[in-house]
Chain A
Amino acid sequence: MKGRIATAESQTGSHVVRNGPSRRSIWRRMLQDKHLYVMLLPVIGFYLLFKYVPVVGEIIAFKDYRFADGVFGSQWVGFKHFQMIFQSPDFWRILRNTLVLNLYSLVFGFPIPIILALLLNEVRRNWYKRIVQNMLYIPHFMSWAVLGGIVIAALSPSTGIVNLILKKITGGETIYFMADSFWWPVAYTISGIWREAGWGTILYLAAMASIDPQLYEAAKIDGAAKLRQIWHITLPGIRGTIAILLILRMGQMMDVGLEQTLILQNNSVLDVADVISTYVYRVGLQNMNYSYTTAIGLFQSVIGVILVLGVNRLIRLFGERGLW
Chain B
Amino acid sequence: MNKLKHAGKSTLTAMMVLTMSVTLLAACGSNKSASEQPSGTPGTSNTVSEGTKKEISVSMFDRGKVPTEEGTYENNRWTKWINEHSPVHVKWIPVARNQAQPKLNALIAAGEAPDLIWEYDRNYISQLANQGAIQPIGDYIDKYSTTYKAYLEKHPELQPYLKFNGKVYAVSFARETLANHGMWIRQDWLDKLGLKVPTTVEEFIDVAHKFKDGDPDGNGQADTVPIALSASSNSIDQAIFFTSENQWYVEDGKLQFGRTLDRYVDTLTFQKKLFDEGLIDQEYITDNNFQRSVQLLTTGKAGIYLGNWDIEELNNNLIKNDPNAKMVPLESFSSKYGKNGLYQEAPPSVFTAFNSKMNEEQIKSAIQFIDWMLQDGWVPLKYGEENVHFNMVDGVRQKTDPDKFKKEVSYAAEYAIMIDNVLRPETFLAMAAKDEVSQNYAKEKGKSLELVMKNKYRRDIPFSPDFPELTQLIATFNPIAQQIEAKVVTGGSSMTPEQGLSELRKEWKRLGGENVEKLAQEWYDTNKNNLK
Residues of A participating in the B interface, judged by any CB pair closer than 8 Å: 31, 34-35, 38-39, 41-42, 45, 49, 66-70, 88-90, 149, 152, 156-158, 176, 178-179, 263, 266-271, 274, 279, 282-283, 285-289
B490: A residues at CB distance < 8 A: 179, 268
Question: A68, B285: Cβ atoms under 8 Å?
Answer: no
Contacting residue for B102 out of A66, A178, A285, CB 8 A: A285
CA distance A55 to B309 in the complex (A): 49
Given contacts A267-B485, A268-B487, contact A287 B475 (CB under 8 A): yes
Identify 5 residue pairs between A and B in the complex whose beta-carbon atoms are under 8 Å apart, listed by A's number. A38-B8, A89-B510, A152-B288, A287-B127, A287-B471
Q: Give the residue name and chain of the B residue nearest to A152 (CB).
A: B286
Question: B476, A287: Cβ atoms under 8 Å?
Answer: no
Question: B13, A38: Cβ atoms under 8 Å?
Answer: yes
Question: A66, B131: Cβ atoms under 8 Å?
Answer: yes
List B residues 7-56 near A (Cβ within 8 Å): 7-8, 12-13, 16-17, 20, 23-24, 27-28
Q: Give the residue name and chain of the A residue nearest to B1 (CB).
A: A41
Given contacts A38-B4, A68-B356, contact A266 B285 (CB under 8 A): yes
Q: Does B468 contact A (CB under 8 A)?
A: yes
Q: Does B413 contact A (CB under 8 A)?
A: no
B126 CB to closest chain A CB, in angstroms?
10
Question: A268, B131: Cβ atoms under 8 Å?
Answer: no
Question: B109, A67: Cβ atoms under 8 Å?
Answer: yes
- Bitwise, B117-140 to A at CB < 8 A (1) or not (0) is 000000100011011110000000
Question: B511, A90: Cβ atoms under 8 Å?
Answer: yes
Contacting residue for A267 out of B24, B127, B482, CB 8 A: B482
CA distance A225 to B102 in the complex (A): 59
List B residues 452-491 near A (Cβ within 8 Å): 468, 471-472, 475-476, 478-480, 482-483, 485-487, 490
B282: A residues at CB distance < 8 A: 157-158
Question: B7, A176: Cβ atoms under 8 Å?
Answer: no
B18 CB to closest chain A CB, in angstroms?
11
Question: B286, A67: Cβ atoms under 8 Å?
Answer: no
Given contacts A38-B4, A66-B131, A158-B283, contact A268 B483 (CB under 8 A): yes
Question: A68, B133: Cβ atoms under 8 Å?
Answer: yes
A178: B residues at CB distance < 8 A: 286
Q: Does B440 contact A (CB under 8 A)?
A: no
Q: Give the residue name and chain of the B residue nearest to A181 (CB).
A: B483
Given contacts A67-B108, A68-B356, contact A271 B133 (CB under 8 A): no
CA distance A38 to B356 in the complex (A): 44
A69: B residues at CB distance < 8 A: 132
- New A-B contacts (6) at CB < 8 Å, excluding given A266-B285, A288-B131: A38-B4, A38-B17, A67-B108, A68-B356, A267-B485, A268-B490
Question: A176, B475: Cβ atoms under 8 Å?
Answer: no
Q: Does B101 contact A (CB under 8 A)?
A: yes
CA distance A156 to B288 in the complex (A): 13
B476: A residues at CB distance < 8 A: 88, 90, 279
Contacting residue for B283 out of A88, A157, A283, CB 8 A: A157
Question: A270, B483: Cβ atoms under 8 Å?
Answer: yes
Q: Does B387 contact A (CB under 8 A)?
A: no
Question: B483, A271: Cβ atoms under 8 Å?
Answer: yes
A34: B residues at CB distance < 8 A: 7-8, 13
CA distance A88 to B480 in the complex (A): 14
Q: Does B105 contact A (CB under 8 A)?
A: yes
Q: Give the residue name and chain of the A residue nearest to B487 (CB).
A: A268
A176: B residues at CB distance < 8 A: 283, 286
Contacting residue for A45 out of B24, B285, B479, CB 8 A: B24
A117 CB to closest chain B CB, in angstroms?
34
CA distance A149 to B123 in the complex (A): 32
B86 CB to closest chain A CB, in angstroms?
29
Question: B486, A267: Cβ atoms under 8 Å?
Answer: yes
Q: Give the residue name and chain of the A residue nearest to B466 (CB).
A: A287
A155 CB to closest chain B CB, in angstroms?
8
Given contacts A42-B24, A69-B132, A158-B283, contact A89 B511 (CB under 8 A): yes
A283: B residues at CB distance < 8 A: 471-472, 475
Given contacts A35-B12, A35-B16, contact A266 B475 (CB under 8 A): no
B156 CB to closest chain A CB, in angstroms?
30
CA distance A165 to B485 in the complex (A): 31
